[in-house]
Amino acid sequence: MKVINLSEQNSIFNQFIAEIRDINIQSDPFRFRKNIERIGEVFAYEISKTLEFYEHDVETPLGVSKVATPTAFPILATILRAGLPLHQGLLNYFDRSGNAFISAYRKYVDKKDFVIEFEYLASPSLHDKVVILSDPMLATGSSLEISYYGLLQKGMPKHVHLVAVIASQAGVNHVIEKLPAEHCTLWVGAIDPDLNDKAYIVPGLGDAGDLAYGEKLDN
């Protein structure tokens, strides 16, 4: 599986990554959500370069211009609730895309151990479509794995772009092992070395859902 890490090249993208990590900036949920959204827009721009395009005539007030535009827009899928700002950023650019939403979350059996509960999927047909599956944090990789195979209930995609803002190396390794390399590309904003005893990414940024939308009761 091809892994593309956008932080390996210097760009304004890294400013957005720095701000969502910064504990002094994280106290502003609006700014956190906006930065995640902008990160989604950068991912959308980069992924758009991989799509199929066709050239056609566009009539202007003064003549005709030949322009190459996407043959089809990808289906955008995300995992509730943390994925919503990232999904919005992707949707800002892929504004004609169909959308899919997945309810998957950690259900703790004790203070450390958990299972991933997959409860709900709303999606159009994915048969022979390009799909972008986004989740801001790729920790163990289990949520992304379960969500990927859950989406196959709606048809076999042509290709799936997996998007994570912050990933752990363990999560990247898990996705590479469990998902088909010939049908998937993994896009990440940064790869961190460790997971703590609660399977949170270190240094990471904390709980993306809580930072975006406020704290929740534990499951």
Q: In CATH, what number is assigned to the domain containing residue 157?
A: 3.40.50.2020
Mean pLDDT across 70-97: 96
The pLDDT of residue 117: 72
With respect to residue 219, please indicate whether it lies within any of the assigned structural domains.
Answer: no
Q: 């005539």: which residue's tokens?
A: 57
Query: 């593309």: which residue's tokens?
Result: 4
* 205 falls within a domain: yes
The pLDDT of residue 219 is above 60: no
pLDDT at 34 exceeding the cut of 90: yes
pLDDT at 147: 93
In the chain the beta strands, taken as DSSP E runs, fall at 2-5, 53-60, 63-70, 75-80, 99-108, 114-122, 130-134, 137-138, 159-168, 184-192, 194-195, 201-202
Average pLDDT over residues 115-137: 91
pTM of the model: 0.93
Structurally, how many domains does the chain consist of? Answer: 1
Please give the backbone phi and psi of residue 160, each rounded to the nearest 5 degrees, phi first: -120, 125
Residues 49-75, mean pLDDT to the nearest whole number: 97
- Rg of the chain on CA atoms, in Å: 18
Q: Which domain holds residue 16?
A: 2-213
For range 36-64, the mean pLDDT: 98
- Residue 118 maps to a domain: yes
Residue 218 in domain: no
When pLDDT is cut at 50, 70 and 90, the band that residue 116 belongs to is: low
Q: Is 98 helix (H, G, I), strand (E, B) or coil?
A: coil
Cis peptide before 203 (omega within 30 of 0): yes
Average pLDDT, integer, range 26-49 = 97
- Rounded to whole angstroms, the Cα distance separating 154 from 190 reads 30
Q: Determine, yes or no, domain membership for 61.
A: yes
Please list the residues that pair with 52 across neighbouring strands. Answer: none
